[in-house]
Amino acid sequence: MNLLFVTDPLATFKITKDSTYAMMREAASRGHRLAACGPQDLRWQRGAAVEALACEIELTGEPEAWFRAAAPRPLALRDAGAVLMRKDPPFDSEYFYATHLLGQAEREGARVFNKPAALRDHPEKLAIMEFAPYIAPTLVTRSAAEVRRFHAEQRDIILKPLDGMGGMGIFRVGPDGLNLGSIVETLNRDGAQTLMVQKYLPEIAQGDKRVLVIGGEPVPYALARIPQGSEIRGNLAAGGKGVAQPLTARDREIAGALGPVLAARGLLLVGIDVIGDCMTEINVTSPTCFQEITQQTGFPVAKMYLDALERALA
C-alpha cells in the first residue's frame, strides 16, 4: 500500500523524537511504500482530482541522511492507499484551506486520517467544552471584565491564546493579580481576540500528561511532561522533561469517555492532555510522544497506530 504523508519538510525532522518518522518506519517495515508532500503541494483544478506534487521516499536507517527522495511527481490523492495529515500546528488559514482540499479528495475516494472535517470541528483548546465534566474551571471570553471576575473566583489562573502551540503564550497569574491587565491586553488585543482562562492546577508539578488514543483505545502509558526549574509549562518544546508512566484510573476514565466518540468522527489518533484529574486540551492535528513512550516503556505505539490504520482501511 502507498501511504502519502502530508507533513512538514522532511529535513526538519528530529528522527529520535518525531512521531511521524516512527509511523513511517513501522509502515516501511510492513512493506508499505512511502511518499511525502507539504500542504503547499496540494492542488485542485476543475475536471481533475485533487493531487499532490509528492516525492516517493525510502528510509535509509542513517541518523543524518535518514531518507532518499525521488523527484517529485503528481499523485492523485485518491490513488494513494491512505493520506496521513501530519502537518504540525499552528492551525492557521493555510491549514484550514488544506483541510478543504483534503475533504474534496475524500469525496473523490481518498482515505484521509485524521478526517479533514473532524480536524476543523475539534479545535484543540475549544474541543474540551463538549466534555466539561472532565475539565477544570474554564472560561472562554474576549472580555477583560470577565477575566477579572474569573480571577477573583479562582485566585490562581492560567491564561492562553486559542491558537497557541507548544506552550507559547501561556501565562500564570496568582492571587496578587500581578500584571493581569497587561496580560489580558496582550492576549485579547483590546477585545479583538478570544482567549481561554483556566484554574491553575498545582498538579502540573507532576507533569502535563499526554494520553494517546488510537482507534478509540488508549495507549497504556502516558508521557508526563514535567516543568523544569521555575517554568510553569511542561511542554517538551518549552523544556519540559518527558517521563512515561502507566495510565491512572482517571486517565483511563477520560480516555474511555472520549475515545469511542472521537474515533467515530474520524479521529484515528488523538492526544488528550491531562493535569492531575483534569483534561486541558484535545490534540487532533499532529499528536506526538510516540517515540518517548516506546523508548522508555518498550510499548510499540507506532505498531498500535499502523494496526489501527490497516483495520480502518480494510
Active-site pick, 125, 199, 235, 251: 125
Active-site pick, 86, 160, 199, 209: 160
Active-site pick, 233, 235, 251, 292: 233
- Burial class of 223 by CB neighbour count within 10 A (0 to 12, 13 to 18, 19+): buried
Active-site pick, 25, 210, 235, 251: 210
Output b/e per residue, 175-214; b: 16+ Cβ within 10 A. Answer: eeeeebeebbebbbeeeeebbbbbbbbeebebbbbbbbbb
Active-site pick, 26, 51, 281, 292: 281
**Residue 156: count of CB within 10 angstroms of its CB:** 14
Q: Are 268 and 114 in contact (CB under 8 A)?
A: yes
At residue 200, what is the residue type?
A: Y
Based on the residue annotation, tell me whether 199 is a catalytic residue of this protein: no
Q: What is the dihedral of CA 112, 116, 119, 120, to 10 degrees?
A: 180
Based on the residue annotation, tell me whether 303 is a catalytic residue of this protein: no
Based on the residue annotation, tell me whether 225 is a catalytic residue of this protein: yes
Based on the residue annotation, tell me whether 125 is a catalytic residue of this protein: yes
Based on the residue annotation, tell me whether 281 is a catalytic residue of this protein: yes
β partners of residue 3: 34, 82
Cell, residue 241: 522533561
Based on the residue annotation, tell me whether 160 is a catalytic residue of this protein: yes
β partners of residue 241: 226
Active-site pick, 225, 235, 251, 292: 225
Active-site pick, 25, 106, 283, 292: 283
Q: Are 284 and 267 in contact (CB under 8 A)?
A: yes
Any idea which residues carry the catalytic annotation?
A: 125, 160, 210, 225, 233, 273, 281, 283
